[in-house]
Amino acid sequence: MHIHSKPSLLRLFMLLSLGLGANSAFAEPVLEYKIALADDGKSYEVWMKPSVTPKPDISLSGQLTLKVPHKAQFKPTKIVSGIEGVDWIEASRVDAPKEDPKHDYISFSYIGAQGNSAQNYDWTAKQELLVFSFANEKGCVDGVKLMANDDPYNIPNNSQRTNPGNQFTNLGWGAVGENNFKGIYGDEPKCLKK
């Protein structure tokens, strides 16, 4: 005698929850950042490339920290989004912290709470996306790079009590609060010789 039973709604809900939770429980960092010199030879471009297409594609927040030579007195200007409806802003700056007094750290932030901006990235696996560009008030400067994970200033309880580093959260790559930033790719930009 065979007994067949229909799964209860509770059991079905639990199975769905486990399946959806697996996406975030085992989420790995997937998004790489790159900084490059634009074709004009004067401005910088920030590119990002995921290894996986997110499903759903809902980008909640992001941060990118530049490391620039202190002596350059670098001042970002003309910040222009590469994605319609998405704004990256200069959110914080620390000049010559004691962990690395030869460099300044400038963080840009994105918050996906504005209209439909959380869905405007349209990420596709292994495809670069120009996220934003900016210039330096005094022109191109060599030594501009993205802050590495092992940077001496990228530590909890740093001398300025700030939260530097790189971060991105997309619900298709994990849960709220997870950092999907994987690392940096590409070479450090070099200014064109005059």
> Which CATH number covers residue 62?
2.60.40
Q: Does 148 fall in a domain?
A: yes
pLDDT at 90: 97
Percent pLDDT > 70 in the chain is 84
Q: Kindly report, residue by residue over 32-42, the tens digit of the pLDDT.
A: 999 999 999 99
Q: What is the pTM of this model?
A: 0.84
DSSP-derived secondary structure for 103-139: EEEEEEEEETTSTTGGG-S---TT--EEEEEEEETT-
Question: Which distant-in-sequence residues (6+ apart) come within 8 Å of 158 by Cβ?
Answer: 97, 99, 164
Cross-strand pairs, 63:
109, 167
Q: Does 26 fall in a domain?
A: yes
Across 133-137, 158-162, 189-193, least confident range:
189-193
Q: Which domain holds residue 146?
A: 9-184
CA 113, CA 122: separation in Å to the nearest integer? 16
Q: Does 189 fall in a domain?
A: no
Across 22-31, 136-145, 185-194, least confident range:
22-31
pLDDT at 12: 30
Does 20 have pLDDT greater than 60?
A: no
Q: Does 162 fall in a domain?
A: yes
Q: Does 3 fall in a domain?
A: no
Higher pLDDT, 67 or 85: 67
Token pair for 156:
């909890």
pLDDT at 185: 98
Does 3 have pLDDT greater than 50?
A: no
pLDDT at 44: 98
pLDDT at 114: 67
Q: Does 192 fall in a domain?
A: no
Q: Does 4 fall in a domain?
A: no
Across 65-74, 78-87, 109-118, 184-193, least confident range:
109-118
Cross-strand pairs, 146:
66
Confidence of residue 62 (pLDDT cuts 50, 70, 90): very high
Q: Does 191 fall in a domain?
A: no
Q: Kindly report, residue by residue over 46-59, the tens digit of the pLDDT.
A: 999 999 999 999 99
Number of domains in the chain: 1
Query: Parallel, antiparallel, or unpaired: how do β-strands 129-136 and 43-50 relate?
Result: antiparallel
